[in-house]
């Protein structure tokens, strides 16, 4: 993976390969993003199921909770 480092003071751009540490951190970050997306999807699904069981819409739930 190529990393671009841009020094704004000098305008110099350096193109280099990512280090093993940077690649490992990228993998950790990607795993965390996937986990957060899965959690958000599960939460949305649980909310939709609850609204379905209650027989109300999301707008109606907002009115009840306001």
DSSP 32-65: HHHHHHHHHHHHHHHHHHHHHHHT--HHHHHHHH
Calculate helix-pair angle for 20-54, 58-65, nearest 10 degrees: 80
Res 41: pLDDT: 98
Distance from C-alpha of 20 to C-alpha of 26, rounded to nearest angstrom: 10
Model confidence pLDDT, tens digit, residues 6-53: 999 999 999 999 999 999 999 999 999 999 999 999 999 999 999 999
Distance from C-alpha of 4 to C-alpha of 2, rounded to nearest angstrom: 7
Res 48: pLDDT: 95
Domain ranges, ordered by start, for the chain: 2-65
Place of tokens 């671009």: 4
């Amino acid at each position: 993976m190529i990393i671009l480092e841009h020094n704004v003071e000098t305008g110099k751009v350096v193109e280099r390969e990512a280090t093993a540490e940077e690649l490992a951190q990228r993998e950790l970050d990607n795993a965390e993003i996937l986990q957060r997306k899965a959690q958000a999807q599960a939460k949305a699904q649980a909310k939709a199921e609850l609204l379905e069981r209650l027989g109300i819409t999301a707008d109606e739930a907002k009115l009840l909770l306001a």
